[in-house]
Copies of this chain bind each other. A is one copy, B any other.
Amino acid sequence: MSDIILETRDLTKHYGGVHALEGANFTLRKGEHVAIMGDNGAGKSTFVRQITGVEQRTRGEVIFDGKPVNFAGPLDAREAGIETVFQTLALADALDVPDNLFLGREKTKFDWLGPFRILDYKSMRNDTLAALTKTGVKIPNIRNTIQNMSGGQRQCVAIARTATFHSKLTIMDEPTAALGVQETAQVENIIRTLKEQGEPLILISHNMRQVFDLVDRIVVFRRGRICANLRKEDTDGQDVVAYITGAKTQPEYADAA
C-alpha cells in the first residue's frame, strides 16, 4: 500500500466567471502535517470545500486513501474518515455545547428504535466537559446555546468536536483565527498530539509563527493556483511571504505566475 493518504490531480473550481481554484496538484503522506498559506481569496477554503464534498468540483480528481472519491456531501467525507473544522464553523446556533459537539453522531441507547432511539444525555455531557478542557476554553455554562457564545468560544467548540473523534485525515481552516493567546496555545497542543499519534493534518493559517512551529511542509496558493511547495527546513518566513505576494514562484509552478 502506498503511504499517500490524499492526492488531488488538476482539482479545479470555477464560480461563474470567478476561477477560484485552478489545476491543483497536491499530495499528503500519512502522518504528515502540511500548512496551506496564501492571500485572502487565494482559494484555500475552496480547495477544502472541493475535497470534502461541500461543493461539486468543476473538474479534476481526488484520491483519498488509495481510492478516487467524489463525496456527495460532507457527511460522506466524514464517514470516509475526514474530520474538518470549516472556516464557517458549522455550529447549530440554537443548540447547546454538548448537542453541537455530538451533532450527527449522538450517543444513544436502545438503538433498535432506529430514528427514535434514545439520547444518552449524561454521557455526552461528561464527554463534552472533557473535550473542552483539552482546548482550554472558558465557558461559564455549557448548556447555554451557541448563539450566546463569544467568537472564540464558538471556534473552540468546533475544534473540540473534531479533536474528539479519531480520523484518517484532519483538516482545519484557520482554526485559531479568533482565539486568544492561551486558547491558541492549547489548540496547537492538540495539533502536536495528532502529530505524535501519526494522524495527518492540513492546516490553513495566516500565522507564520504557528505554521513554522507545527508543520512539516508549506504549500502556497496564489490567485487560485499552487505556486510553491516548500519543506520547512528549506525556507523561512521571508521566503514564504515572497511566494504569497508573488515576488517569487517555484519553477515547476511557473504557470501560476
Q: How many residues of A contact B (CB 8 A)?
A: 43
CB proximity of A243 to chain B, nearest CB, Å: 11
Checking B40, B46, B141, B183 against A156 with a beta-carbon cut-off of 8 angstroms, the contacting residue is B40
Q: How many copies does the complex hold?
A: 2
Does A41 lie at the interface of the complex (its beta carbon under 8 Å from any beta carbon of B)? yes
Q: Which of A7-60 contact B (CB under 8 A)?
A: 15, 17-18, 37-42, 44-46
Knowing A40-B138, A178-B177 touch, does A150 contact B244 (C-beta < 8 A)?
no
Is A193 part of the binding interface, using a Cβ–Cβ cutoff of 8 Å? no
Q: Contact between B40 and A152 (Cβ–Cβ < 8 Å)?
A: yes
Q: How far is the CA of A87 from the CA of B178 in the complex (A)?
A: 9
Residue pair A40, B174 in contact (C-beta under 8 Å): no
Does B140 lie within 8 Å of A18, measured CB to CB?
Answer: yes
Binding site for B on A (CB under 8 A): 15, 17-18, 37-42, 44-46, 87-88, 137-141, 144, 148-153, 155-156, 174, 177-184, 206, 208, 223, 241, 244-245
* 12 A-B pairs in the complex with CB atoms less than 8 angstroms apart: A18-B140, A18-B144, A18-B148, A39-B138, A39-B152, A40-B150, A40-B178, A40-B179, A41-B138, A138-B223, A180-B206, A182-B245
